[in-house]
Amino acid sequence: MRLSQSVSSVLLLATASIAQAASSWSFDEGLVSIAARKGADGVKEKLNAKTPLSKPISLGSSDALKVALTAKDNGKGKRPHQLFVVLKDKDSGLEAPFPLTTKESGKAVVQITQKDIPVQLLVATKPLEVSIVIGSFGSAQAYNSRVFDVQIKTDPTAPAPSYEKPVRYGPKPEIHHIFRADPQSPPKIISLFFAAAVVATVPALFLAWLILGANVNHLSKAISAAPLSHASFFGSIVAMEFVFFMYYTSWNLFQMLPVAGVVGVVTVLSGTKALGEVQSRRLAGER
Partner 1 sequence: MRSLLSFAVLVLATVVSAISTTGDRLLVVLDDAAEQAGYSKFLGDLKSRGFKLSFETPKSESLSLFHLGERAYDHVILFPSKLKGLGPKLTGQLLLQFLNADGNILVALGSDTAASTALVSLLTELDIHLPAERTGLVVDHFNYDSVSAPDKHDVLLLPPPGSHRPGVKDIFSAGAPSDQVIAFARGVGATLGAGELLTPLLRAPSTAYSYDPSTQAETVDDPFAAGEQLSLISTFQSRTSARFTLVGSAELLADKWFDTEVQKPGAAKAVKTFNREFAKRVAGWTFQEIGVLRVNWIEHHLNEVGGSNETNPKIYRIKNEVTYAISVSEYAWDAWTAFSVPPNDVFQLEFSMLSPFHRLTLQPDAAHSTPDAAAFTASFKLPDQHGIFNFKINYKRPFFTNVEEKNTVSVRHMAHDEWPRSFVISGAWPWIAGIGATVAGWLGFCALWMYSAPVSGKKTQ
Minimum Å distance from CB 269 to partner 1?
16
CB of 75 to partner 1, least distance (A): 19
User: Rounded distance, CA 85 to CA 97, Å?
Assistant: 6
For the segment 105-134, give every residue that binds partner 1 (CB under 8 A): 133
CA-to-CA distance for 96 and 25, rounded, in angstroms?
A: 21
Find the shortest distance in angstroms from Cβ 165 to partner 1. 9
Residue 87 burial (CB count, 10 A): 24
Scanning residues 47 to 106, which ones bind partner 1 (CB under 8 A)?
A: 79-84, 86, 93, 95, 97, 99-102
Provide the CA 244 distance to its chain's centre, in angstroms: 53
The residue within the footprint of partner 1, chosen from 39, 156, 159, 171 (CB under 8 A), is: 171
Nearer to partner 1, 13 or 100 (CB): 100
Number of residues that bind partner 1 (CB under 8 A): 72
Which residues in 218-237 contact partner 1 (CB under 8 A)?
218-219, 222, 230, 234, 237
Three-state DSSP class for residue 80: coil
Q: Letter for the amino acid at 12?
A: L
Q: How crowded is the C-beta side of 269, counted as CA atoms within 13 Å?
A: 9
Residue 266 amino acid letter: V
Tell me which stretch binds partner 1 (CB under 8 A): 38-46, 121-129, 196-204, 254-262: 196-204
Asked if 238 interacts with partner 1 (CB under 8 A), we say yes
Q: Binding residue for partner 1 (CB under 8 A) from 19, 21, 167, 283? A: 167
Nearest to residue 74, comparing CAs of 142, 124, 128, 121? 142
